[in-house]
Each structure stands twice: as structure tokens, then as C-alpha cells.
Structure 1
Amino acid sequence: MSEELNLLEISDHIACITMNRPPANAWSLAAMEDFEKKLDTLESDKNVRVVILTGAGDKCFSAGFDVKDAANSDKTGPLGQKLWRRIDCFEKPFIAAINGHAFGGGLELALCCHFRIMADAPKARVGLTELNLGIIPGWGGTQRLMRELGRSRALEMILLSKRISAAEAAEAGLVHQIASPEKLMEQTRTFAASLAQRPPVAMGCVLKAMAAGVYHGIDAGLESESEGSRVASASKDATEGFTAFLEKRQPVFKGE
């Protein structure tokens, strides 16, 4: 296994983080700490407009918590909640390219991403399976699965440790696209490229406003929306957008 716990590649305004602990891509304290550094890099890099998150290999996106690192569970628990929440509130779109199983903390991580595209592999399944061990989802799964599926369907999945296929996940609205395994990254990158062409300032304002509404209520969300409207309207991208419209051409946004 490579010493790099999480690989980071950046090209054409798109960053790709690959969890690099195959076959399970499980999360140890060291992997989380490395992941946090990668997030710091992406947050400050204005060249990055979209982030893809996937797992190494073709078996697992991520199986969640690394039980071999149980000695550090008192640290990984709070850090997992913190980092997953950070992705949920990230002001650049995150796309989960779910290349295989996503269980426990792995699915909780995918749930934080703004978009989820899953490989329609015959054996690939997703689920919050913690109750099989007598524990509960601890990295936001009780809240975010309910947000995506509604309470009853989320409870069914969690309380019965139900594992569902890509097709079932798409039907339920848990993933928004499915792809053949061999086309997963191509399809994800095509979608990422379409997002990367959008105005970064305005995109970030939309994500910030939605996160504010989720975490702090609709009034906070509306306040953030108003502020975002002022920020986006004053940007050079807005000038470019209106100019391109009048000139009947495609706008070229620079994130300024």
C-alpha cells in the first residue's frame, strides 16, 4: 500500500481525492488527519472549483471506521463528525464517485457530498450497518440519511442495517446518478466539468446559503442568500455573465 493515505490530483479546475487504503478504504486517525490537510489545501486553492471523492480499487468506496485503529476511537469519532460536517458545508461542490460498497462511516461520508454517482456493480451495496455491532451511526448518518430519504425510510435502513444496490439507491433518491463500473469516473468527470464551467463565486454563495438553512434554520438561510446575492452581483463573473448574454456567447467565468 502506498504511504499516501489519500491521493490528491488537480486538473482543469477539478480536484480528485482518492481514499487510498484498499480494499476497504477504512478510516483511521492518521487517514483522517491527512484528509483534513487535503481539505485545507482545496479550500484555499482558488484554481479548484469542484471536488471528486472516490476510493481506491473496485471493491469499496469506504467501509467506514477502521476497527484496527480502535485504540484511537475517542479521537476519530469527534474528528469524523467535524470533517464530514465540513464537507457538507464546503463552498465548492463535492461529488462522491461511489466505486463499490459504502458502509457505515463510508456512506455517512458520501451523504455529506453534494452529489453522489454510484457504480452499478452487481455486488455493490450501501448501508448504515452499525446496529449489527450494537452501535449507531456516529458521523452524522442519523441526520443526513433522514434528510435524503425521509424518517421512515431512513429508520428502516438504519434499524435493520439494510444494504441496497445502486439501482435501489437511485430509486430512493440516495444517489442521483448510476454508471457502469467502467464508466463511473468518466461520467463523474463529465459532470464535474459541467460544474467547473459555472461561476465559482455564485456557486459558493448557493452552497453556503443552503448549508446555513440546513444547520441554522430557514431565517439564517435566507439571510445568507441575501448576502450571497449581494456578493455575486458585485463580482466580475456577474459582469461577464450579463456581457456574454448580451453578446450571445458562452460566458467565461474566472471566479472573481
Structure 2
Amino acid sequence: MRHSLPLAPQFYVTAPQPCPYLPGRMERKLFTALQGDYAEKLNDSLSKQGFRRSQNVLYRPSCSECSACLSARIDVRRFEPSKSQRRSLRRNAHLQRRASSPWATEDQFELFRRYLDARHADGGMADMDIFEFAAMIEETPIRSRVVEYSDRESGELAAVCLTDVLDDGLSMVYSFYDPELPKAGLGTWMILDHIDIAREAGLPYVYLGYWVPGSPKMGYKAQFSALEIYRRGRWEPMRSDDDYASETHPLSTDPIAEQVANISLPDSRA
């Protein structure tokens, strides 16, 4: 199935498949290719409209009977860490950050495999080999960085995040960490560090991907202050989970053609 806008990227819809977040539901995605000189502008524009990047594709959930997946970002200027988040900062003060071009290494892959085996053994990436991992890291048509976190003394790699640099913030595309350090809270700590990176760079937002009300897998994102949710065509401050119960109603989703027609695209001639 294909939908398009005149003189614009082509948009496609994936076939339905079981939802990884809410049991008993089916998911599908609206997506378009990300390539050429237009790629960076397209990524910047669509990221502000709830899209995410995966290699050279931009996608957004477009389920036929549910709109529970809500894009989330942190307003860096308004963010204040909680007591537990301040403890996380102190707990991981021994780690140092190193940002580099998107290049995959064997150390990264070994950490990635241990993370998947411990945390997502039945997930969609469970069978990913080193070549597919390298493609995930390296196949990017836009400005991306690999942010590594390692122990200052031993040099041992503890966590990694693939990060896109947008015109208005940082997008945490995918992160993984040492599963043998559960008490370190490395997932939360990486988000806190990206808030610091964005603040240092003068970028207003950190994009976290999707928050799904009712999904335990995504509950940690709601713990950050100054969280904004992209809902019904605009960003709004996040409210309580109960305010988003209607997003799982069968009538909560617009038809695909309307969704595509309402996408705002940058001027490719600019």
C-alpha cells in the first residue's frame, strides 16, 4: 500500500504484526526513505512530527485501531533531576564519555549481545549478527554520533548510545549497556548525560523515542521532568497516564491518507 504527496517523498505502510508493547494488539508503521541531500532537512522536520530514524528510514507508528505510541522529548531548559536521578549521576561519576563518528566496533557488539541476551532475548533484534549491528550503527545519511561510556580507570566499556544531532536537539536512536550493572541505572544515566550534552551545545530538546501509556517497558520515560508528548499534531506537556487512555480506542486514529496529507515537509529547494 502506498500513499504520496506531490513532489514529495513516498510514504508506505508496513503489514500489521503483533505489538511489542501492548498485548493483544497489532502494530503497523508509516515510513519513508531517508537519502540524498534532502535527508537532513527531512529528518529534522519529521522528527518534530513524531517520526524516528532507523538507518535510512524514517517511521512513525500508524496502527489502525490504536494511537498509544506517543513521541516523547525532554525540554532541556525546564528539566530538573529528581532525587533518584541525582543519585544516578553520583553513582556513575566514574564513567567518562567519548563521542565519535558512527563506526561499529567488536567491543560495542560484544556489549550489545550481552545486553540483548539479558534484557531482550525474545525481541525483534535478538538474532542480529555483527554485520546487521554494523549497518544499524553506520548506515546513516545524517549527522550521527556514537557516544561511548567507559570506566575511567579500567577503560572497560559500560554503555553506548547511537545519537542523531538534529537542528533542535539530540535524538537517542538506540542505547544499550552492561546488563550486569542493574543497580547503576545506566539507561537513566545516559539520558541525563544527553541532557547535559544538549545543554552544552545550546540545543533545546532530547528526543527519547516513544512513550506508551500502560506499557511497563516504557514507564521509565515518564519519570523525567519537563517531558513533552507529541499528540494530535502538536507537542504538549505530559500529563498523567489516565489522560491518555483514549489513545487506545479504535476511533483514536485518523485514516492513513489524512495522516500523510497532514505531514509538513521542508522545502527541498531551500
* TM-score (structure 1 length as normaliser): 0.31
Going by fraction, where is helix more abundant, 1 or 2? Answer: 1
Going by fraction, where is strand more abundant, 1 or 2? Answer: 2
Q: Which has the higher contact order (CA 8 A, sep 6+)?
A: 2
* TM-score (structure 2 length as normaliser): 0.30
